Chains A and B, each alone.
Chain A
Amino acid sequence: MSSTLYAALLQSIRAHAPQERHEADLPLTISQRRAEAMLHVVHDLGGQPDGPLDKSLHKTALWEKRTHCTAECLAWRGVWVSEERRRRENDLGETLYFGTPYYARWLLAAAKMLIDKGHITPDELIAKMEEVRAREEDAA
């Protein structure tokens, strides 16, 4: 590629690249405010702006109660510790963190931990879930 073509190509790429991306590639030039926003972790909610409270309560479902006890038993018997559970919940990502019920975060963290540590395989988990699903449907 000739240098003229290359320069034209670069120019074209730069014209299409979002300005945000261009600035973020140069960490020393971003503002303190933007740096704080970029470094802010998903679970650190204290002081973040928000609207009115939803003070409604719901009756604890059986799966929520069982999830609590399953996660605690896994910690009791040394498979993980509660700090690891919290870290794994925080690392589920913004969509799952804010988009799932409270105990779903515990549960997803537990399932991922069992797979990550090699206690179960994804195939085993899927097969087990299908078995449970079939059993529930038979009972229903």
Chain B
Amino acid sequence: MNTSHQHTDAHTPIEGRDEAIEFEILETAVRELSIAKGLFSAEDHRRFMEWYDNIGPTGGARVVARAWVDPQFKQRLLADGVAACKELGIDWMAPTGHGTPSDFTWLVACENTPKLHNVIVCTLCSCYPRPLLGHSPAWYERPNYRRRVVRWPRQVLAEFGLIIPPDVEIRVHDSNQKTRYIVLPMRPSDTEGWSEEKLATIVTRDTMIGVAVPRIDWTTTSTPSGQARAE
């Protein structure tokens, strides 16, 4: 807000009011009117807010760690992602009993190999495996990522600090209403003897989007010394 031209009459705008507050007012109005008209109930909204608070990338990390230690589970995950998630208590049918309206319940896990690296995007909006990874990071929703990763994946990954060797193929998966993707990264070679729980700590959100690969010194709660997190 430009403070150098403020009026001093009764119509002076309130200090600090910005567009976010306007959206806050509009959201409250839309929600309260919808409830007053009986379009949905306050209880429906409360249940959705609870679901929203409980999703996050730790679900995806558990699925990847299980796939690393249990080859049979990995096969089931590659065959039917949603059913495999259910085995670990991650229910794509929550919170309505038939899934969320915006997340169609079909998940494809894309396995990285020494010759293939996968990365996910949604060029048309911001489709994302929400029940498994929580809400998408802001850059995933921004036009820049959506525009460029399908045409210049190697360059975009390099901007994230991930250099993919020229002999490794990069496959970009464009998410849509009917199909959601998750990247199944390769297990780092220096993790022999690690427990499933310990393995899960190195499976960060970005490794399941495909803009990073797991490293033993880069966990969900700590980063290598002297290196700042990109976020």
Contact = CB atoms under 8 A, between A and B. Distances in A.
Given A79-B39, A114-B30, A73 B45 contact: yes
Nearest to B32: A128
A83 B32 CA distance: 23
B123 A132 contact: no
Interface in B90-128: 96, 100-102, 121, 123-126
Given A74-B39, A76-B101, A82-B177, A53 B32 contact: no
B25 A83 contact: no
Interface in A80-131: 81-83, 85-86, 89, 98, 101-104, 107-108, 110-111, 114, 119-120, 124-125, 128-129, 131
B25 A68 contact: no
Nearest to A77: B40
A69 B30 contact: no
Given A79-B39, A129-B25, A44 B100 contact: no
A55 B156 CA distance: 11
A102 B141 contact: yes
Contacts of A50: 143-144, 147-148
Secondary structure of the B contact surface, majority rule: helix
A107 B31 CA distance: 10
Interface string A40-70: 0001111111111111111011110111111
B197 interface: no
A63 B20 contact: yes
Contacts of B23: 63, 67, 101, 103-104, 107
B139 interface: yes
A60 B135 contact: yes
A85 B102 contact: yes
A140 B14 CA distance: 11
A53 B135 contact: no
Contacts of B102: 71-72, 75, 82, 85
Contacts of B139: 53-57
A86 B125 contact: yes
8 contacts: A43-B124, A47-B151, A49-B148, A55-B159, A67-B27, A72-B100, A82-B102, A124-B33
Interface of A: 43-58, 60-63, 65-77, 79, 81-83, 85-86, 89, 98, 101-104, 107-108, 110-111, 114, 119-120, 124-125, 128-129, 131-133, 136-137, 140
